[in-house]
Amino acid sequence: MTISVGDRIPSITLTKATADGPDQISSDEFFKGRKVALVAVPGAFTPTCSARHLPGFVDKAAELKAKGVDEIAFTSVNDAFVMGAWGKASDAGDIVMLADGNADFAKAVGLTFDGSKFGMGERSQRYSMLVNDGVVEQLNVEAPGAFEVSSAEHLLSEI
């Protein structure tokens, strides 16, 4: 079942990429008591994700925070080392990179797709969501191959 507006984020362990290496964190702890713009992408370093999606949130981070967003996080079915390298290579600054290496989070929110024909296996769909104290306030899931409703600009327009 796909997560919906009004649902609580499932309790899952994610791995946060930090300067000191991987750091496991529960989703309960990560989302507790704050407003988080969570963005999921099919893969770090993939064309649309690297050329448009992450850079859009880097550019609009101050505007999102001015509208009450406490944290911006990107997640992908990649390991923490890849997510950390992608954040660094993209000058992602304060954006938190959350690794979902086994797709546990993507599966728990019901937003996966089979990328096997591209050699990628099970991956997260592309989406953005606004999560307030662990509860989904907005959810913007892209159609396959699209990049429109999960952009930083679109999320900003909804806040």
Active-site residues: which are they?
49
Residue 133: partners with Cβ closer than 8 Å, 6 or more residues away: 31, 32, 33, 34, 35
Reduce the DSSP state of residue 21 to 3 states and report it.
strand
Question: Which tokens belong to 54?
Answer: 């992450």
Q: What's the chain's length in residues? A: 159
Q: How far is CA 14 from CA 59, 99, 143, 147, in A?
A: 25, 6, 25, 25
